Amino acid sequence: MEESIRRFNVVIGIDQSDEEIKKCMDQNVGNNKRVNSNPHPMVEQGSPEWKALAEKNDLDIRLYDYVVQLFEEQRGIIESYAAALE
């Protein structure tokens, strides 16, 4: 999530080195508290449980894989924004 926030800040021009902005970000997004989270047992990839979940959530998995691909493809674009701000 840190990388997503960094990218967002780069694109809209937020200076993360500013102490007031750092304080604001720490209060609102930097505490890593998982307030909407529940513990779940880990499922080993390839197990019958994993296969059942993967089959039921096939479209979610495909979407996630696509988003990861886009995230990597956008790295160069974001870095060009960052370079322009320096």
Per run of 10 residues, the mean pLDDT along the chain (length 86 residues) is 86 85 81 71 94 97 96 90 78
Other residues' Cβ atoms within 10 Å of the Cβ of residue 10? 19
Distance CA 36, CA 50 (A): 23
Distance CA 24, CA 39 (A): 29
pLDDT for position 58: 97
pLDDT for position 32: 62
pLDDT for position 3: 87
Q: Are 16 and 9 in contact (CB under 8 A)?
A: yes
